[in-house]
Each structure stands twice: as C-alpha cells, then as structure tokens.
Amino acid sequence: MSSSAEQPAEHQSDQALAKRRHTYVIDPENPGELARLTMQERLITEGMGGLFPEGLTLPPAAKVLDLACGPGGWVLDLARAYPDAEVIGVDISPAVVEYATVQAQTRRLANASFQVMDVTKPLAFPETVFDLVNGRLLSGFMLPAAWPRLVAEGYRLLKPGAVLCLTEGELSLTTSPTLSALHELGTRVLKMAGRSFSPDGRHVGITPVLPRLLRQAGFQQVRLHATAIEWSIDTPAYYGLFKDCLMGLELIQPFLLGTGLIEREELQRQMQQALAEMQQDDFCAIWTLVTVWGQKPTASSPA
C-alpha cells in the first residue's frame, strides 16, 4: 500500500473524505485495524466451517458482491474456490480497496475486483445483476436506521431467486470479569450513541432483528445458521481471538474515551487486568455468530 505522500492529490482527497464521513467505531484505515480484520476474516471462515453456511450454494458462473469487504479475504477466498465466478468487493476506504486490489493481483485472481463505495448509500450497480450479496460483521459501522435501506438495496441488486446473506455476532461471553465489564462498557456506549438495537444497552442487539429485516424487505425462505467459536485458553482458536480481542480493545479506545464514561488511566488499568485474566489457566470464552440468508422471490413467486 502506498504512503499518503506518494499518492496523487485527488486520491488523498478521497481518503480524507472517507475518514470524515465514515461511521465506524474504529478507523477503517488504521494499519492495526487492517491487520486485525485480515486475521478476523480467516477466523470467521474457519469457525463457520467454510465460506457459506450449510445449504447455501452458488450457481455456475455466479456474480457475487461482498459488502464492506475490508481487506478482501472473503472475496479472495471465494474467487480462488470458484474460478468461474465474478466476485466484487466494495468498501468505503480507498486505502483498503487499494490493498485488496494488490492482493488479488499478487494472487493472480483475475475474477476478484474491488471498488470504493459506501454501502450505507445506494450502490453504483444496476438492479438484478448479482447471484449472491454477502456481508459479514457490518454492525461495526451500521446505524440502526441504515439497516432496512441496506437490506432493500441488496434486494434491488439481486436477480430473482438469488440470495442475500448476512453474518453478525455479539461480543464474546467469557469468564474474565474485567473483559466482561469492558464489553458492557462498549455496549452501553453503543446504546448511548444511538448505534444499537438493544433495548437496555447490554448487547449489540443486531442478531435478533436480522431475520425480520429480511422478511420485511420481501425475502422468502429466510434461514438462520448459528456458529459458536470457542476460544478458551486450551483451544486452537484461542490465540487468534485473544489477539483479535486485544487489538480491538486498543483500537476502540478513542471511541470509548470520547463518551466521558471512563478515564484513560482507568481504561488502561482495566485492559491490563483483562489481559492477565485472559491468560489464566481456567479462562473460557465463546464467540457466537448468526448467519441469516433469504431468497429474492422468482418472477412466479408471490411478493
């Protein structure tokens, strides 16, 4: 990825605009966030047992869109697994799209491409062109009012009979008292900022409403698939999700401190305590994800 000093003035301007307008709780162009998302994409795919939930398949020569694709791991993996498919990822960050494009070129995946787009706005694609529209962990930037618009946009872009697939999760359940307290602080802050579906700020709240959002948009045969990733200290997923958690806590500090609910020194103290607790021999943790997918009606199906 080029440094900002080496980039054309108009590209730097695009990046500045993206930073001003994005609604992410973590700056998507922070190099640490790029590394965290790259690792997290792999962990999710492994935890789900593949790129799709069981029962979801692609037609031959499918055209696929990945929403807020980040560093592009899912797009690249799908393009490699389905060489006859055309896979497009879109993301608000020009720097991230540039990084993902370089990865596709390096891996010689001509069927993978990336474009700069804001998925909270109408997308620059004609209607009824995609066989699958996919999105994973969009709640990091989606405001509640934006969700129905996003699902409706997915409906517009899909061919009749095609599928919208969304995967979201809640924060991990763990035996660390301090990490649990930090998670509670995070969900309270999201509620205060108007970024949560939770009625009381105790959780993010997106997973219970996803099926209804798809049905309200007109999708049929809406299905759910639950994934539970255990990352207790003696499990294969431990190190990856331990690192993901630590990086996430570090990167979300500006968002948490901006509320005034906690002072920097206290937040640092709690993070150090959580680090110690997560390395205890009896540490246990589970991260749950819910994948919801629905089919756009065919021409012969009732609306």
Residue 155 pLDDT: 98
Q: What pLDDT does residue 300 have?
A: 54
Query: Which pLDDT score, from 0 to 100, does residue 111 have?
Result: 97
Domain ranges of the chain: 7-295
Looking at residue 172, the DSSP 8-state letter turns out to be P
- The answer to whether 78 touches 64, Cβ cutoff 8 Å, is yes
Nearest to 166 by CA among 200, 212, 129: 212
Is the distance from CB of 247 to CB of 30 less than 8 angstroms? no
What is the reported pLDDT for 3? 35
**Residue 22 confidence (pLDDT):** 60
279's tokens: 């390395």
Residues making up the chain, counted from first to last:
303
Looking at residue 298, its pLDDT comes to 92
Tokens 């602080």, located at residue: 185
C-alpha to C-alpha distance for 49 and 52, rounded to whole angstroms = 8
Residue 286, CA distances (Å) to 79, 175, 225 in order: 30, 10, 16
Tokens representing residue 101 in the block = 């494009």
The predicted structure's pLDDT at residue 238: 96
Phi, psi of 234 (to 5 degrees): -105, 25
Q: Judge residue 130's burial from the number of C-beta atoms within 10 Å of its C-beta, 0-12 exposed, 13-18 middle, 19 or more buried.
A: buried
Q: Tokens at residue 32, please?
A: 């640490």
Residue located via tokens 């035996």:
175
What per-residue confidence (pLDDT) applies to 4? Answer: 35
8-state DSSP, 128: S
CB 223 within 8 A of CB 294: yes
Residue (of 247, 250, 260, 270) closest to 189 by Cα position: 260
The answer to whether the Cα torsion of 43, 45, 49, 55 is positive or negative is positive
Tell the burial category of 126 from Cβ atoms under 10 Å away from its Cβ (0-12, 13-18, 19+).
exposed
Name the phi and psi angles at 238, rounded to 5.
Answer: -60, -55
For the domain made up of 7-295, the CATH class stated in words is: alpha beta
User: Cα–Cα distance between 50 and 215 in angstroms, integer?
Assistant: 25
Evaluate whether 47 touches 237 at the Cβ level (below 8 Å): yes
**pLDDT profile of the chain (303 residues), mean per 10:** 37 40 71 87 93 88 96 96 97 94 97 96 96 94 94 98 96 96 92 89 92 97 96 96 92 87 93 97 97 90 46
Angle between helix axes 31-48 and 73-81 (nearest 10 degrees) is 40
pTM of the model: 0.88
Q: Copy the structure tokens of residue 230.
A: 């255990």
